[in-house]
Amino acid sequence: MPRKPPPDSDLKERRELLDAAGIARTLRRMAHEIAERVPHGEKPLYLVGVRTGGAYLAHRLCDVLAAAGEGKPILGAVDISLYRDDVFHGLPKPEIGPTELPEPIEGRTIVLVDDVLFTGRTIRAAMDVLADYGRPRAVKLAALIDRGMRELPIQPDFVGLALQTTVLESVRVMLTERGEPDRVVLRERPA
Amino acid sequence: MSAFGHRHLLGIEPLAAADIETILTLSERFLEIAERPIKKVPTLRGKTVINLFLEPSTRTRTSFEIAAKRLSADAVNISGSGSSTTKGETLLDTARNLDAMSPDVVVVRHSLAGAAEMLAKQLRAGVVNGGDGAHEHPTQALLDCSTIRAHKGKLAGLEVAICGDIRHSRVARSNIWALTKLGARVRVAAPRTLLAPGLTEMGATVHERIEPALEGADVVMMLRIQKERMGGGLFPNTREYSRYFGLNLRRLELAKSDAIVMHPGPLNRGVEIDPAVADGPRAVILDQVARGVAVRMAVLYLLAGGESAAE
């Protein structure tokens, strides 16, 4: 098991941040912003999801972009388990997903996609993974939720929903890909 | 998938099937790193792995060294001839001195069964058994299982023939444990003088001729005749051994038409395996070696990570 995630039992749901329709609407808007602000045309857009939540969202963004006539983006995924700076807090994670970059990233503009942007450490690790595969021209960051409390100088380029949270709170993104109904909820640990 | 709760890897016998599955599945991920332009991940940066090899080894030592380096750990190699053991230092003293330099993992190979376990009781570092006498060689069994699974898609229900010098073979012992735990059926074949007691109890079917063991096998694993461990007189000569127990193309016909041929190396060409088989299309011997690095990366990752598990 990885670093101990807060046990679900003592987390109380406080409010719903997005419902299924809200997630769909937010992703549509983000897809349009990406299409507008990331140069493409000569070469398709290149979306890379951070496993596991970000990979599902990158897939959905790809579908929205393709449906909107922006061409079918290249879809990749990175697993950051081997690049974490906290591998040794707790037992190592016994399960690692594949990193799949179907086309060389050298010279491309990459849009990293994550579900929740928090300390920024995940994104730092994801950028290190990319660096081991090549030198992208630029890396952009899209996050469905930005919950603040950054510990590193990392900022998103595309945000679905931004809110300020506390250490006692936790944002959970539920997705049908994981066998749950589409929802984003804010949960809180009793102080 | 379950967490890996072991601090050491001393053998396959103490592992649960789920532990073996964890390592095998994890190793599939590490296999990909060998295909990257930069064959290195920062996971074990700042960790130290000592390879204490007091018996000759090319494959296993190099494999552990590459595995450690691809995970960004610092790897230090100590071999028997270049170490203070030649000055009379005992294994335990050598190991305690190394432990005082705070390595995170010590991989040990020694000619005595139980050497790794003895060190595990004495050292703070995690210990990996890189082969101890005729006892166990767990990472070899793991890489063999990984190779079989890659070629056959599964292990459960397969018929695996392990042929040759069973008596001196830690590879055979570790493989019998691993394969039976994962649901494969194991037949072993050797001249009576090269069999060992307890094989039936471990779950293997024992043959004193190679032909019945090969019949209908999905996997044929040939073992090296270990001349260095023999007092002599266990079989008349290598030519006769080859005639009765060597794997040639004709004997391989007895196995299934899609059977794979494995060998842990080093090969005695023309003794236990005919070059036509060793270099033929059914041999997966070099694939075993490639997978060895990935399996050892998985083991180092699980052990070096478990180190500071106190939270």
Q: Report the pLDDT value the prediction gives residue A10, as an integer from 0 to 100.
A: 75
DSSP A41-106: SSS--EEEEETTHHHHHHHHHHHHHHHTTS---EEEEE--GGG-TTTTSSSPPS--PPPB-SS--T
Q: Does A124 touch chain B (CB under 8 A)?
A: no
Element (H, E) at A20: helix A20-37
DSSP state of A7: P
Least confident of A180-184, B36-40, B267-271, B289-293: B36-40
A128 touches chain B (CB under 8 A): yes
Of residues B265 and B230, more confidence is placed in B265
Query: What count of other Cβ atoms lies within 10 Å of the Cβ of residue B251?
Result: 17
Taking an 8 Å cut-off on Cβ atoms, the answer to whether B37 and A134 are in contact is: yes
Residue B292 near residue B143, CB atoms below 8 Å: yes
Residue B163: per-residue pLDDT: 97
Give the residue from B291, B311, B302, B293 showing the smallest Cα distance to B47. Answer: B302
Over residues B181-202, mean pLDDT:
95
Q: What's the pTM value of the predicted model, to 2 decimals?
A: 0.87
Q: Are strands B48-53 and B159-163 parallel, antiparallel or unpaired?
A: unpaired
Cβ–Cβ < 8 Å for B20, B40: no
Least confident piece of the model among B7-11, B57-61, B186-190 = B57-61
pLDDT at B242 over 50: yes
Residue A6 has pLDDT above 80, yes or no: no
| pLDDT given for residue B68 in this prediction | 97
Is B176:B203 a contact under the CB 8 Å cutoff? yes
- For residue range A49-64, list pLDDT tens digits in order: 999 899 999 999 999 9
3-class secondary structure, A160: strand
Q: A104 and chain B: CB distance < 8 Å anywhere?
A: no
Share of chain A above pLDDT 90, in %: 75
* Distance in angstroms (rounded) separating the CA atoms of residues B143 and B153: 14
Residue B189 forms beta bridges with which residues? B163, B207
The answer to whether A125 contacts chain B (CB < 8 Å) is no
| Sign of the C-alpha dihedral computed for residues B80, B82, B86 and B89 taken in this order | negative
Which residues of A are less than 8 Å from B70 in CB distance? none
Question: How high is the pLDDT of residue B84?
Answer: 75
Which of A87, A90, A98 lies closest to B43 in CB terms? A87
Which residues of chain A does B38 touch, with a Cβ-Cβ cutoff of 8 Å? 132-133
Mean pLDDT value across chain B:
92
Choice between A24 and B308, residue whose per-residue pLDDT is larger: A24
Task: Lowest mean pLDDT of A92-106, B42-56, B67-81, B157-171, name the range.
Answer: A92-106
Chain CA centroid to CA B265, Å = 10
Question: Could you tell me where the DSSP H helices lie in A91-181?
Answer: 121-133
**Secondary structure letter of residue A168 according to DSSP:** T
Q: Which long-range contacts (CB under 8 A, 24 or more apart) does A157-161 make?
A: A157/A37, A157/A111, A158/A30, A158/A33, A158/A34, A158/A37, A158/A111, A159/A30, A159/A117, A160/A18, A160/A23, A160/A26, A160/A27, A160/A29, A160/A30, A161/A17, A161/A18, A161/A26
Helix A53-67 to helix A20-37 angle (10° resolution) is: 70
Model pLDDT, residue B187: 98
Over the stretch A115-152, which tens digit does the pLDDT of each residue have?
Answer: 999 999 999 999 999 999 999 999 999 999 999 999 99
Q: Report residue B89's pLDDT band, with 50, 70 and 90 as the boundaries.
A: confident
pLDDT at A34 over 50: yes
B4·A92 Cβ contact <8 A: yes
> Which residue would you say has higher pLDDT here, A6 or B209?
B209
Residue B24 contacts residue B147 (beta carbons within 8 Å): no
10 Å Cβ neighbour count for B197?
A: 7
What is the phi/psi pair of residue A142, to 5°?
-120, 130
For residue A87, what is the nearest residue in chain B, using CA coordinates?
B305
Per-residue pLDDT at A7: 56
Q: What mean pLDDT value characterizes chain A?
A: 90
Can you tell me the ipTM of this complex? 0.75
Q: Does A7 touch chain B (CB under 8 A)?
A: no
Ranges A8-12, B25-29, B184-188: which has the least confidence: A8-12
Q: How many CB pairs under 8 A join A and B?
A: 60
Token pair in block for residue B269: 């060409």
Over residues B110-133, the mean pLDDT reads: 95
Per-residue pLDDT of B201-239, as tens digits, reads 999 999 999 999 999 999 999 999 887 767 677 888 888
A89 in contact with chain B, both atoms CB, cutoff 8 A: yes
For residue B307, pLDDT beyond 90: no
* Residue in B with minimal Cα distance to A97: B29
Residue B172: what pLDDT?
97
Alpha-carbon distances, residue B207 vs B164, B177, B186, B213, B255 (angstroms): 11, 18, 11, 6, 15
Q: Is residue B101 pLDDT above 90, yes or no?
A: yes
CB contact under 8 A, B29 and A97: yes
A91–B29 CB contact, under 8 Å: no
What is the pLDDT at residue B309? Answer: 38
Which of the four pLDDT bands, split at 50, 70 and 90, describes residue A98? Answer: confident
Average pLDDT of the residues in B255-275? 95
> Nearest Cβ partner of B41 from A82, A89, A94?
A82
From B2, B37, B41, residue closest to A94, measured CB to CB: B2
Question: How far apart, in whole angstroms, are the C-alpha atoms of residue B111 and residue B115?
Answer: 8
Q: How far apart are CA A109 and CA A34, in angstroms?
A: 11
Question: Does the pLDDT at position B311 exceed 50?
Answer: no
